[in-house]
Amino acid sequence: MQENDNLPPRTMWDTKYGEESYFYGTQPNDFLKENVGKLPKGRVLCLADGEGRNSVFLAQQGYDVTAVDSSAVGMRKASALAKSKGVSVTTIVADLNDFDLGEGMWSGIVSIFCHLPSTLRGKVHGSIAPALSPKGVFLMECYSPDQLEFGTGGPKNRDLLVTALQAEQELAGLSFQHLKQCTRTIVEGQGHNGQSAVTQVIAAKG
């Protein structure tokens, strides 16, 4: 979960994740929970996974999960959460500027509220299709620009927010099963609370 603030990202997220409680709670994102069955069984990569709520949920469903995030504090909490639930998650501390998604490695890639500068986002999104195995699925939920009107979570910088059209253009090589901008109520810890404007994607590699 990478957003914008006045602090350098790693310092900002280590600070937010530094409390004993989980900033976004320990329950998975609703969109992921409702659509988890669309991810083929196998290896799943969770981008910017913060404190691990989504990767741990996926591990509980039987996936072989790798979580990557720039915050070492977040990844330590992800490991602790996984242990408390009796599952295992591979954690990697890395900046998505430098992280290599690989080639044909993942049956699923999950991006939940991973907000990146548009140039970096385009680079990461352009790596999704090559990184998926055949029939692999990418699942994403993020804030759309309309979220600026709600102020119930997410970055305040328009460049970090994603429209459905931008997602469609950036995720070349995927076939879209679900592509939607909508408004829904989100309750996720202290970080996301209330009526929210989101962009949702489920797309498969042919």
pLDDT at 52: 97
- Please give the model's pTM, rounded to 2 decimal places: 0.94
pLDDT at 5: 42
- Give a yes or no: residue 30 inside a domain: yes
Domain CATH for 148: 3.40.50.150
- Give a yes or no: residue 3 inside a domain: no
Q: How many residues does the chain have?
A: 206
- Give a yes or no: residue 127 inside a domain: yes
**DSSP secondary structure string, 125-182?**
HHHHHHHEEEEEEEEEEEE-GGGGGT-SSS-S-GGG---HHHHHHHSTTEEEEEEEEE
- Give a yes or no: residue 85 inside a domain: yes
Burial 43-79, CB ≥16 within 10 A → b, else e: bbbbbbbbbbbbbbbbbbeebebbbbbbbebbbebbb
- Give a yes or no: residue 184 inside a domain: yes
Residue spans of the chain under pLDDT 50: 1-7
- Give a yes or no: residue 1 inside a domain: no
pLDDT at 15: 87
- Give a yes or no: residue 18 inside a domain: yes
Sorted by sequence, the CB contacts under 8 Å of residue 194 that are 6+ apart come out as 150, 152, 153, 185, 186, 187
What's the number of domains the chain is made of? 1
User: Biggest alpha carbon distance in the chain?
Assistant: 43
pLDDT at 9: 56
Domain hosting residue 19, numbered range: 9-205
- Give a yes or no: residue 46 inside a domain: yes
